[in-house]
Structure 1
């Protein structure tokens, strides 16, 4: 015996001792685990097989015990208790004839005594005495057959043709339990004949008892080494047990014996597919089909391979051929649905999944796939129902729980989403996608640190999961860690270069980075265009829209923010007036899954509402063309839920970007960027845009909150010291911003700083540390978390003057501050993002709050801190000043936008290229008077 064999024998002995101890202690589950561990090492171990049989009988599963007793007896027929317990199990299973035959065989081999007589009595008394006490059996438990009469199982005898026919008939009728029992009896009565072993292995395979099928399959091969079918059957068993390399070897041996064996080619294809060897698998399936053209399963599997290879049209052909051959083939219907969904034919996909369920309602995967299809159609409540039906059939299917979590998240049922993801992870702890999705839900719940941990766990499990890197980058960005955010986002793109949202997130991130200059920023935006637009340019199709310059225009607005979001607050007042123009027909393309009260209001302003969050770019672009859109308006830029990769396909003759993002899209297909002369002075920053600049009297209207608290007296008049404030998001509070603000705070030792809008679990200590490095004490800083709108606005009553961030200056927060009587000192930058604050102040005639460099910023801060009377007068008049500005005139901005759209359209009708232009307030006043408005 070699050293390795000795070690293996020792391990088996230790496992057997452990198993028997557990068994005797009544720890049946633990004992079974230990016995199975022995059988993994040595499948023919007599004692482990025998005791597995005893376990099954104890659990009232007599039929399941029989193959274990068979293997035990075959390995060691000298053990009397093996015979006795086998016969007892046959009796308990109701197999009286088999029990009679095995008892007779045992007696022929020399087994005698009280226990044998008791079994004979039970046989005679039939079923009424089946529960008789087994004490006599236990007394004989260790009794061996007389060594002087060492038995051998009968040899040279074959089952009759009638017995074989009966066994085959049971198998063909699907009576697998009865077939298994008869096959087991055959292996005892005729252990040297192949038929019982072969049929037993096949029956166990059909019963999904692959572990039990293995030994019968192996014995069959020993009897029939040149039987291709036997090798194929062994391959099926090994494949089910996850032993793919051995399964492949068995299939290849079958094919060496019979190269024209179609099913072996098909099964080999499955193994190769499971190993990720898709091209080899495709070849195997095609060979199977060449041999057997009506082989529906091979056509179905070939379709699945072609789908995985992204050859979707070929996949559809193969799957439809499978269904021609077998119209009730549920798996083929499901695979066809998946393929059609990926092609973008969602309604057809849904129909295929419905057909799969009609074919077999109890297949969890069919309900799962239907849920995916309904999710893609945006029918989230129906998708939820399908996922829950799948979970009733298979409660432990982690992908279903994961996908259920995603739709619950989309429906803003975040607690339910969290629970679903956590259940998926409990079932499958290494499920990286579920960890990633859990992170997104935790982030939405405001639990930033937990979200970060989930993303990091996902990356630890699956380092190339680009989505997790991107999400980690976003949460790092939102918490103000810009360098780490940028690194994470670049890692996401390294793993997945075509990940457009990660690229957009990167652009948003570096827009806030003061170390990135204007030229670098523009170059990065252009790289987005090169990655996602350049490959599509050659495929742009001519537009067939009627070139009538005065006709009614079909205008589409694309946004993921037709909901409780700043963009909606800007667009809603405009829609009130835009809907009054009879020459405009408005379409909304809503790229968000869940609606809210604001969504319901906005829907009433559009003649057409199109949910698009689940549509692929190609499908959406085709739909936009089919809708006859003349002018398509992007309201997102590179912010979340954008569809710039659809705009890159140029689905409309005229395309423009507006409101959602302070910078270029980087796309040549985007014709115009709409703004005002304060945000982008004429000719000043044009070189930072791929679009042509169009100026309106004001970029957007702003509607103050109707329930805003009143403007109060300037706090410094009561406090005796000046209070600065900032309500910008934490990601804008960079180290350089803190350094500049600290210069002002150091110059005014009694001044204080209010920092509002902080995420609840923000790491304030980083900010506190930066201020400390600048010699600003913690007690001068007043942090406040995010709150409801009224409380947020009331916080401005404590502030004398706000300090702006850079290089990404404030927008909505600056407008809120204005309405509450608080001006903002801003540093006008040399990028669009750096001019947002300045544009608002210029619009209101507050140029004296716009600084041109850091020295000027500090100087202006000191000036206003030292002139409280002047600042108080400005505070008192800001609401009036705002109400008299263009920003408070949605009617004016709507009219100027309508005029701009008509100019854009007329240029396209005339075959002219896009060029910069502007619409002045005087033009609009004249136009309004002319139209009687």
Structure 2
């Protein structure tokens, strides 16, 4: 039998005395991490040492690891059932975890046991409450409360810790499992989210929300087929839940191999199934010529997104003599995410937790003439309201690339790059209204002191830069990028780190994908604080397929880098292409085929003088672009509204 398989031996009194002396010295210095290491080493040879488990329980508590503290405290009581301090600690931990029954049980046991002089001499963590104080502070589900409190303050790592502890303590808790997965996804740890959700599915197999979130996590790691399979299961369980079905639709947009016609059909079918039905005998609101048009914007929670501030500035430019604007959003106007809209609307309604029927009644009461949905499939419950006629004209903009197939949604506001002549045969119910200066929103970073777009902080040699998520780093994208690298043999590619380096499995996946095309050794993942710092390390920005994140292109341009983008086969994959076109950069930035993408990237890579000139002037060009002119954009919308109203009024 090998040494590592031999059972450990009870510690001799001499060894335990030496261990306690070393622990005492460490605790005087409040060196709990070192005490933890020393105790783990001691237990590896003497796994029945109650005092070592006691120290580990205290060390875990000191690190806010309550489930770890509970585990070790239980071990201490198991091996030291005759020591009062062990039972008291276990009672305290149970009280902190909100388990009064077990806490009272071990409190009674502790009261019958003698004290340990050794433990009294050691001292306890300063933040460990007394048993009485722990009882006084008992709350239900404290781990969940800590997690949600951390989320409210944007402390995602801390929230992940609390949710994870609750899952270990109560594996069947739905809120904890969903919260943990959400924290992991927000941090970009999608593989960990997949593992967590798979474990949850074994314990809560019939929960559609968990299956749907698993589908989204699988999509985020590039497992598109598996993601849709999980979504199909979720939709079969929750056949009448518009949110569960919308999750599947949103993920369809990320699959580079999915046909546009199939995507459009899926979106249109959603509306037919979930749109509210018009009430029997309900008449259509009338449209007639009038001096002031009431325009309602259902913005949902878009204020939390980067484009929210741009939207607010555009809407603030509406002509008040012709348009009265009403906002419908999540939360009060004074909320941190909505305060940017204070100059955008004459009236505001908080529709948080409002059902679609009630929202429709509020819209009617406001006598809205033109109702525009901006939240789209980010707020599917609210979107269902457009199955009914709430206003004479009802339109969608931004978050519904192919409409929603809703009976009373009249128009999709778009532009002539997002929707081309090739799209005329698509089975879209709504009409298309074209904005002259582009239908997307773009937000450029704030000016950084002392650094123009031409300023670079990079190594020697040509560097292509890409800010892409794991789902965007798909074989189709990497194949074309690799062609660029092979055309420029002395170049390299840098990737923005989306927490890739926290997962060895993710790194291996990326190495294997780039290795298929023989370029893995020429790809680096950079740890930069923000996108501007990252792009200053590069020369040319390459965008993935489909290219949907406008903010990435905006950041690269602001840092002085030319951008190369492939215009996709559908509206959802042309959002960046549209933005670049209306910024006046389409000719040198937007490719119609993968071959043209390679040509554009190589052309930029080969011409250092051209890149330098581009970087020196690009910020000024962007500032002067009509797409970045809020007054022009508002006027663009108003022209569409006038035409729609004239048509509705006959």
Whether the TM-score (by the shorter chain) exceeds 0.5 is yes
Correspondent of 1:689 among 398, 421, 428:
428
What are the equivalent positions in structure 2 for 1:525-536 lying under 5 Å apart? 525-533=267-275, 536=277
In structure 2, what is the equivalent of residue 623 of structure 1?
362
Query: Does the residue aligned with 1:536 lie in a helix, a strand or coil?
Result: coil
In structure 1, what is the equivalent of residue 320 of structure 2?
581
Correspondent of 1:885 among 612, 617, 625:
625
In structure 2, what is the equivalent of residue 230 of structure 1?
none
Distance 2:194 2:528 in 1: 20
In structure 1, what is the equivalent of residue 62 of structure 2?
none
State whether residues 558 and 591 of structure 1, in contact with CA within 8 Å, keep that contact through their aligned partners in structure 2: no
In structure 2, what is the equivalent of residue 496 of structure 1?
238
Q: CA deviation at 1:419?
A: 7.3
In structure 2, what is the equivalent of residue 674 of structure 1?
413
Q: CA deviation at 1:673?
A: 1.4
What are the equivalent positions in structure 2 for 1:462-473 lying under 5 Å apart? 462-473=204-215
In structure 2, what is the equivalent of residue 572 of structure 1?
312
Q: What RMSD over aligned residues (CA atoms) do the two structures have, in Å? A: 3.6
Change (3 A) 1:429 1:839: closer
Q: CA deviation at 1:893?
A: 0.9
Distance 1:650 1:660 in 2: 20
Distance 1:736 1:640 in 2: 31
Q: 1:109-163: per-residue Cα shift (whole Å, max 9, x none)?
A: xxxxxxxxxxxxxxxxxxxxxxxxxxxxxxxxxxxxxxxxxxxxxxxxxxxxxxx
Distance 1:682 1:550 in 2: 35
State whether residues 396 and 427 of structure 1, in contact with CA within 8 Å, keep that contact through their aligned partners in structure 2: no
Q: State whether structure 2 residue 283 is matched by structure 1 residue 542.
A: yes
Q: State whether structure 2 residue 396 is matched by structure 1 residue 657.
A: yes
What are the equivalent positions in structure 2 for 1:290-309 lying under 5 Å apart? none
What are the equivalent positions in structure 2 for 1:398-409 lying under 5 Å apart? 409=151
What are the equivalent positions in structure 2 for 1:263-274 lying under 5 Å apart? none
Change (3 A) 1:854 1:415: closer
Query: Does the residue aligned with 1:610 lie in a helix, a strand or coil?
Result: strand
Distance 1:536 1:587 in 2: 25
Distance 1:553 1:537 in 2: 24
Q: CA deviation at 1:772?
A: 0.8
What are the equivalent positions in structure 2 for 1:261-340 lying under 5 Å apart? none
Distance 1:867 1:794 in 2: 23
State whether residues 821 and 876 of structure 1, in contact with CA within 8 Å, keep that contact through their aligned partners in structure 2: yes
State whether residues 325 and 345 of structure 2, in contact with CA within 8 Å, keep that contact through their aligned partners in structure 1: yes
Indicate the larger mover: 818-827 or 632-641: 632-641
Q: CA deviation at 1:465?
A: 0.3
Distance 2:303 2:581 in 1: 29
Q: CA deviation at 1:493?
A: 0.8
Q: State whether structure 2 residue 483 is matched by structure 1 residue 743.
A: yes
In structure 1, what is the equivalent of residue 228 of structure 2?
486
Q: CA deviation at 1:524?
A: 1.4
Correspondent of 1:801 among 528, 540, 543:
540
Change (3 A) 1:447 1:858: closer
Correspondent of 2:571 among 809, 832, 835:
832
Q: 1:699-728: per-residue Cα shift (whole Å, max 9, x none)?
A: 245442233363354869x86632112223
Q: CA deviation at 1:509?
A: 1.6
In structure 2, what is the equivalent of residue 514 of structure 1?
256
In structure 2, what is the equivalent of residue 872 of structure 1?
612
Query: Does the residue aligned with 2:249 lie in a helix, a strand or coil?
Result: helix
What are the equivalent positions in structure 2 for 1:715-730 lying under 5 Å apart? 721-730=461-470
Query: Does the residue aligned with 1:825 lie in a helix, a strand or coil?
Result: strand
Distance 1:456 1:904 in 2: 49
Correspondent of 2:373 among 634, 656, 663:
634
TM value normalised by structure 2: 0.71
Correspondent of 2:510 among 748, 757, 767:
767
- Look at both structures and tell me which one has the larger radius of gyration over its CA atoms: 1
State whether residues 425 and 434 of structure 1, in contact with CA within 8 Å, keep that contact through their aligned partners in structure 2: yes
Query: Does the residue aligned with 1:548 lie in a helix, a strand or coil?
Result: coil
Indicate the larger mover: 466-475 or 671-680: 671-680
Q: CA deviation at 1:737?
A: 0.7
Query: Does the residue aligned with 1:566 lie in a helix, a strand or coil?
Result: coil
Change (3 A) 1:591 1:722: same
In structure 2, what is the equivalent of residue 560 of structure 1?
300
Change (3 A) 1:792 1:459: same
State whether residues 473 and 486 of structure 1, in contact with CA within 8 Å, keep that contact through their aligned partners in structure 2: yes
Correspondent of 2:586 among 846, 866, 870:
846
Change (3 A) 1:519 1:797: same
Correspondent of 1:591 among 318, 323, 330:
330
Indicate the larger mover: 402-411 or 844-853: 402-411
Between Structure 1 and Structure 2, which shows a larger proportion of helix residues?
1
Query: Does the residue aligned with 1:586 lie in a helix, a strand or coil?
Result: strand
Change (3 A) 1:411 1:722: closer
Q: 1:619-649: per-residue Cα shift (whole Å, max 9, x none)?
A: 2222222332222212133246773222233
Correspondent of 2:198 among 431, 448, 456:
456
Change (3 A) 1:737 1:626: same
State the number of aligned residues. Answer: 519
Query: Does the residue aligned with 1:798 lie in a helix, a strand or coil?
Result: coil
Change (3 A) 1:851 1:553: same
Q: CA deviation at 1:887?
A: 0.9
In structure 2, what is the equivalent of residue 438 of structure 1?
180
State whether residues 686 and 693 of structure 1, in contact with CA within 8 Å, keep that contact through their aligned partners in structure 2: no
Distance 2:338 2:603 in 1: 45
TM value normalised by structure 1: 0.51
In structure 2, what is the equivalent of residue 606 of structure 1?
345
State whether residues 527 and 666 of structure 1, in contact with CA within 8 Å, keep that contact through their aligned partners in structure 2: yes
In structure 2, what is the equivalent of residue 152 of structure 1?
none
Q: CA deviation at 1:838?
A: 2.2
State whether residues 316 and 343 of structure 2, in contact with CA within 8 Å, keep that contact through their aligned partners in structure 1: no
State whether residues 484 and 601 of structure 2, in contact with CA within 8 Å, keep that contact through their aligned partners in structure 1: yes
Change (3 A) 1:456 1:725: same
Q: 1:359-397: per-residue Cα shift (whole Å, max 9, x none)?
A: xxxxxxxxxxxxxxxxxxxxxxxxxxxxxxxx9999675
Change (3 A) 1:892 1:410: same
Change (3 A) 1:531 1:775: same
Distance 2:573 2:262 in 1: 15
Change (3 A) 1:829 1:435: closer
Q: CA deviation at 1:684?
A: 4.4
Q: 1:228-284: per-residue Cα shift (whole Å, max 9, x none)?
A: xxxxxxxxxxxxxxxxxxxxxxxxxxxxxxxxxxxxxxxxxxxxxxxxxxxxxxxxx
Q: 1:546-588: per-residue Cα shift (whole Å, max 9, x none)?
A: x33223222222233343412303302203312x423322222
Q: 1:42-92: per-residue Cα shift (whole Å, max 9, x none)?
A: xxxxxxxxxxxxx9xx99xxxxxxxxxxxxxxxxxxxxxxxxxxxxxxxxx
Query: Does the residue aligned with 2:632 lie in a helix, a strand or coil?
Result: helix
Stretches of structure 1 lacking an aligned partner (at least 5 in a row) = 1-21, 28-54, 60-390, 911-933
What are the equivalent positions in structure 2 for 1:142-541 lying under 5 Å apart? 409=151, 412=154, 421=163, 425=167, 428-444=170-186, 448-533=190-275, 536-537=277-278, 541=282
Distance 2:528 2:400 in 1: 22
Q: CA deviation at 1:828?
A: 1.7
Distance 2:300 2:527 in 1: 26
Query: Does the residue aligned with 2:494 lie in a helix, a strand or coil?
Result: strand
Distance 1:537 1:830 in 2: 35
Change (3 A) 1:393 1:456: farther
Distance 1:683 1:446 in 2: 36
Distance 1:593 1:477 in 2: 34
